[in-house]
Amino acid sequence: MAAALDLRGRVVVVTGAGSGMGRSYALEAARRGAVLALADYDPAGLAQTAGLLPAGTTVLTRVLDVSDRDAVEAFAASVDADLGGAHVVINNAGIEGAVLAAEAIPEEVHRRVMAVNFDGVRYGTLAFLPQLRARDRAALVNVSSLFGLIGTPHHSDYCASKFAVRGFTEALAAELVGTGVSVHLVHPGGVATNIARQAGSQAFAAKYLTTAPDDIARLVLDALGTRRTRIVAGHRAPSTFLGSRLLPLWVMTRLVRRDLDAVLD
C-alpha cells in the first residue's frame, strides 16, 4: 500500500475552516507542516482559526460562499498564483438542513442546502482538479456524511445533498483511477461540531454528536494517498455502515426510525 502523503511544505486547501471539522483539518495539517489555504463563509470564525495556527504557518484565508462558483474559481486561482497550487483539497463546508418532514421543507431551504452541501463540493472539486492533476501525488477529500449512507426522517434535504456528494465522488474516483490523484470520501458520524444550530436539533446533537473532531481529522489526514478511500468514522458510524450494506432497506428504515423517534419533534 502506498505511504500516506507527507504534508510538509505542501499546500492544503480546506473549506468550512472557520469551525468544527474544518478547523480541526486546518490545525492538524498545520501541525504536520502544511501550507494552508483556508476558506469559510464566517469571517470571524475564519480569523479565529487562523489565530490558532502554530507560529510560522503560511496561510492564505478567503471569506467564501462555496455555492458561488465564480468565487470558488477565484479562490482556486489565488491559491495557484500565491501558493503555487494545491496538493490536497478538503471540500468540507456544509450546513444543516431544515429538520422538518419532507413536505414541510420550504423550497428555498432545500435549494440552499443542495447549493452549499453538494454544489459547493462539486465547484471546489472542479476548480482545483487541474492543480491536483499537475502533481505527481495529490489528494482530494470530499466530505459526505453518515446521512449519505442512510436516509433519516426529517433530514431529506440534508440526506439528498450528502448522497449526491457520495455519488459524484465515487464516479470521479473511477475517472481518476491511474492518475496521481487519490480520491477520499468521508462519511463522518456523530462528530461534536456546531452544525446542529436549530432548537429542534439539540436533542439529536446531545444524543449522537459525541466524537471529537480532532480524532476524525487525524484519521483522514493519515489516509491521504493510501487505498483507504472510503472513510467511515465517528459515533455509531461503523455499525450504521454495516447495516446499510447488509440489511434490506425495509428493515434499515424501521431501525433508523425507531432509533430517532426519541429525538424527533
Q: Which residues belong to the active site?
A: 158
Beta 35-40 vs 11-15: how paired, if at all?
parallel
Nearest to 218 by CA among 9, 16, 28, 17: 28
Helices (H), the chain: 20-31, 43-52, 69-83, 107-114, 120-133, 156-175, 202-208, 213-223, 237-246, 249-260
Retrieve residue 11's grid coordinates. 499546500
Question: Which of these, 143, 13, 14, 177, lies nearest to 87 by C-alpha position?
Answer: 13
> What is the residue type of 184?
H
State the distance between the two ends of the chain, measured CA to CA, in whole angstroms.
47
Grid cell of 74 as nine digits: 477565484
Cell of 2: 502506498
Which of 89-102 are b and which e, b meaning 16 or more Cβ less than 10 Å from the residue's Cβ?
A: bbbbbbbbbbbbee
| 3-class secondary-structure state, position 20 | helix
Q: Which three cell numbers stand for residue 146?
A: 453518515
For residue 88, which of 257, 198, 222, 245 has the smallest C-alpha distance? 222
Are residues 182 and 229 in contact, defined by beta-carbon separation less than 8 angstroms? yes
Coil, helix or strand for 142?
A: strand
Q: Are 188 and 218 in contact (CB under 8 A)?
A: no
